[in-house]
Structure 1
Amino acid sequence: MIDGAKLLEAIYDITEEKKIDKKIVIEGIKEGFQKAYEKYFDPEAIVKVEIDGNTGQIKVFKELTVVQKIEDEWLDITLSDAQAKYGADVTIGDYVYEPVEFGSEFSKLAVLQVGQIIKQKIREGEKIKIYEEFLEKNHEIIAGIIKDVTLTSYLVEVNGSIISIWNKKMIPGEEFEDGDRICFYVEDVVRDSKHSQVQASRIHPDFLAKLMELHVPEIAEGIVEVKSVSRDPGNRSKIAVFSHDENIDPIGACIGTAGARIKEVSKELHGERIDIILWNEDKKTFIMNALAPVKVISIDLDETENECFVIVPNEQLSLAIGKKGMAARLVANLVNVKINIVSISESGSRNIENLWNGNITKEQLESSEFINNTNSRKQKSKFNNFENKSKPAQPVVEEVHDEIDEKLYVEEASVDEIQSYADAFEDLANDEPEDLTVEINDDYDSYYED
């Protein structure tokens, strides 16, 4: 027989350890006894199980149909027998419940069934708990402690639940150890999944957007709005911002005093360099803002096809495209437009019309000042890159007025904007792209699909 006291103790332990409802455990025990009876006695039987909440005593009853003549002795009872056992009010067609006496053999079978069902109930209960707990945190940043590191993922404990962050959702190059604190963005929460109910990511564009919200009060308060984000995780990102208060500079607010705010965000992203771009409702202006410090000679936007052709100076084509097309890809994802970038000389051979509607005139383009300064920036970037290869990584924001010609590239630019331009030239110095014309593929990254 089942020890009632031990049963109650087991129910308590399970509910406390697994943090699931006591009712779920009790229903699992009842279901286990029902299945045990079906296997041991009669698979067609209808069984009712009762558990005394005070003593833990289990009672099993089988349902019998009151009939005039018995056809199945396991399921039927005669009217006379039913009235003798359950009272004179019983009539033909009624159902009565007969206690089932069971010995040690049935008890063992029942315990096995209960064990299997309880495990299943625990898994189901944990899934419900995780779903209900994390659903309200969907599309937010949460933090936890790393409990284990496997070949494919990091296992993170958050309020007693274990969340998996797959390696492909981690920022390239970053490493954590057991006991480290880690924060991540919740992409989605699903009720049931073979792998992980909570889809966690550190590479999602909105991870950066939410980090900015945490570190920039103006964003949290809705004064400054993050319009779009584009990332090459761990390497570089662009974030477009707009201020709803004309007295608040959105770029300055995001950067913070001496770059304090943007440095903290970059630190969390494993040193990812972040360009703050001024959003503009005019898409052409927005694209030119996103391409800076590259000057745009001509921009032809087809809004119907959501595609544009951009002509840039020969001297800045490589800078516009970046290493392996990264710079152009970041811009395309930021503005959500397919961008084709060509040099002015290439545009002629490809019969691409030059509209001269960009942010540099023909006179400025042909000036010796533009050419000399562009070449000078490249040479300085290459020299600085060679000189600093063995040095520790520098902060995201530095004072580099002496390295950038403000008159040529920016108007009333902040120190931090200028630094981003310097970083762009250093990227160029590291690796020149092989193909000088890049067409951005719409399905480059699923995060940026419409």
Structure 2
Amino acid sequence: MKNTAEILEALTQIATEKEIDKEEVIEGIKEGFKKAYERFFDPEAVTEVDFDEQTGAIKMFLLLKVVQKVDDDWLEIGINEAKDEFGDNVAIGDVVKRPVEFEDEFSRLAVHQVRQIVQQKIRSSERERIYNKFIDKAHELLTGKVVGMNDQGTAYLVDVDGVNASLWNKKLIPDDEFEVGDFVTFYVEDVEKDNRFSQIQASRTAPGFLKKIIEREIPEVADGTIEIMGVSRQPGVRAKVAAISHDENIEPIGSIVGPQGSRITNISNQLNGEKIDVVEWNEDINKFIMNAMAPVRVVSVDVDEENNEADIIVPDEQLSLAIGRNGIAARIVANLLKMKINILSVSQAQELGIPVQWNGNITEEELTSKDFLDATNRRKNKTNQPSKPNFKNNKTSQRANYDPIADLEQELERFQAELAKENETHEQKQEQKFAQEQVNHEEEKIEEDIKEVETNLDEIQENLKAFEEITSDDEEDEDEDFDDEDFDSYYDEK
């Protein structure tokens, strides 16, 4: 084998371009030759590879133990043969180094192994570099430029400071659509060391995405005066945010909502119109539940702390509002509270024999008052009026045909039965889908890696005439919520 200083030049070039330690590439070459020898000759053979960093010379040796009687030709050498080959000073028990001749077939295998191992080391080093570069960005917002989509069309590829992050379809807000060249902001859920598809776990649906946008847009949140204690979302539809003020002179809801709702509207526009309700957090779980249920009034609340569950009784007239279409409103509250909730009307509680404690934020007198009944009737009238066309989705809302009271008991029963299981089931489906996407991507990536392995180290072959003899032959080879106006009017009243 020809050995020249050009090897060092090529290694330096690879190390510089790939931003990895040159020693990693040298170790890859040594390991490749060793594995090639094991595969071509004997898996138990002991070899040594020397790389001269001054001249670029590569030498390989088979290590043999000198013995009186040879049992294994790949591991041992007889004393007489050893003296003939290495001189009279050799003694039994010594280990001698027999130079390995780089024959054509072995050389091709060696180069193939070197390619694989060096490429693996390059990828491993790149993953380590990306991890170290972005680990401090976990749970923060990043903005990148859309450069395309993956081959399966299941994720946008977003360039962030020279690194591609995959923004998967399941992590997009409904109606999210981007073109190549668009800039998109996302939340970094995690940064992984070994994920070959995307080390940066990007999301626009995570609760943290909304939390960080609020922190970015609201100065009182950014400076810590107001703290976001919890976020629950149905991405693109509705969200609830629990906040607390550490300054008694600053009101958390009003600060986040802003004058005439200007601040919260700006944030909502960044989330494709997602309606955002802000409630005040309270360490008293009963009070927090009542705040979280707003604008629904709470007649009675009974918390089972041992089972992390709560029975919430609401006025008959507000039961449908408390549950929401397909249980969205109740599910958002449950996620915000991080507990299972059972919502019942006063009538249902009485039928089931559940005590009505009247420990909520509405009294029995208020429940039957003219003001409360009039307000409830106004909501019903709004709900039963034909709604405006939704031009964004190019279709007319079907709320006009929806009777919020019809089949309510059946919907409530279904909600209470499925609420505890729904999140887990949804996550399982998403994981299965994602796993299948990964399998499909893995199969295609294997072929790409094989081609990459065969071509990437051409940098060495093309630039180093030292490998010409070795490589010459090788080169051949969701639905809307119950009524947005009901929630929006809550803040007007505030």
**TM-score relative to the length of structure 1:** 0.81
Q: What are the equivalent positions in structure 2 for 1:118-267 lying under 5 Å apart?
A: 118-149=118-149, 150-193=152-195, 195-257=197-259, 259-267=261-269
Where does residue 109 of structure 2 map in the other structure?
109
Alpha-carbon distance in 2 for matches of 1:430, 1:305: 39
1:70/1:198 CA distance change after superposition, 3 Å: same
Deviates more, 1:228-237 or 1:427-436: 427-436
Unaligned runs of 5+ in 2: 428-494
- Give the superposed CA RMSD: 3.2
Unaligned runs of 5+ in 1: 394-425
How many residue pairs match? The answer is 415
1:70/1:282 CA distance change after superposition, 3 Å: closer
Contact 1:155 1:163 in 2 (8 A): yes
Q: Does 1:445 align with 2:418?
A: no
Q: CA deviation at 1:325?
A: 1.0
Alpha-carbon distance in 1 for matches of 2:403, 2:88: 98
Secondary structure at 2:372's aligned position in 1? helix
Contact 1:333 1:448 in 2 (8 A): no
**TM-score relative to the length of structure 2:** 0.74
Contact 1:141 1:185 in 2 (8 A): yes
Where does residue 341 of structure 1 map in the other structure?
343
Deviates more, 1:327-336 or 1:13-22: 13-22
Where does residue 316 of structure 1 map in the other structure?
318
Q: CA deviation at 1:230?
A: 0.9
Structure number with the higher helix fraction is 2
1:363/1:258 CA distance change after superposition, 3 Å: closer
Alpha-carbon distance in 2 for matches of 1:212, 1:431: 34
Letter in 1 for 2:62: K
Contact 2:298 2:360 in 1 (8 A): yes
1:2/1:156 CA distance change after superposition, 3 Å: farther
Contact 1:15 1:25 in 2 (8 A): yes
Q: CA deviation at 1:92?
A: 3.0
Q: CA deviation at 1:294?
A: 1.4
Secondary structure at 1:59's aligned position in 2? strand
Contact 1:323 1:431 in 2 (8 A): no
Where does residue 27 of structure 2 map in the other structure?
27
Q: What are the equivalent positions in structure 2 for 1:297-376 lying under 5 Å apart?
A: 297-376=299-378
Alpha-carbon distance in 2 for matches of 1:429, 1:119: 62
Contact 1:67 1:93 in 2 (8 A): yes
Letter in 2 for 1:156: V
For 1:147-170, what per-residue CA distance to the aligned partner results, in whole angstroms no more than 9, with x for missing partners?
A: 222432222233333322321222
Secondary structure at 2:56's aligned position in 1? coil
Letter in 1 for 2:408: D
Where does residue 98 of structure 2 map in the other structure?
98
Alpha-carbon distance in 1 for matches of 2:6, 2:219: 55
Alpha-carbon distance in 2 for matches of 1:329, 1:37: 62
Letter in 1 for 2:276: I
1:22/1:367 CA distance change after superposition, 3 Å: same
Q: What are the equivalent positions in structure 2 for 1:395-410 lying under 5 Å apart?
A: none
Alpha-carbon distance in 2 for matches of 1:249, 1:142: 29
Q: CA deviation at 1:175?
A: 1.5
1:246/1:446 CA distance change after superposition, 3 Å: farther
Q: CA deviation at 1:258?
A: 5.0
Secondary structure at 1:445's aligned position in 2? helix
Contact 1:322 1:432 in 2 (8 A): no
Letter in 2 for 1:317: L
Q: CA deviation at 1:326?
A: 0.8
1:194/1:303 CA distance change after superposition, 3 Å: same
1:122/1:287 CA distance change after superposition, 3 Å: same
Contact 1:323 1:428 in 2 (8 A): no
Alpha-carbon distance in 2 for matches of 1:429, 1:283: 37
Where does residue 412 of structure 1 map in the other structure?
none
Alpha-carbon distance in 2 for matches of 1:101, 1:120: 26
For 1:379-432, what per-residue CA distance to the aligned partner results, in whole angstroms no more than 9, with x for missing partners?
A: 24554x62x425679xxxxxxxxxxxxxxxxxxxxxxxxxxxxxxxx9987855
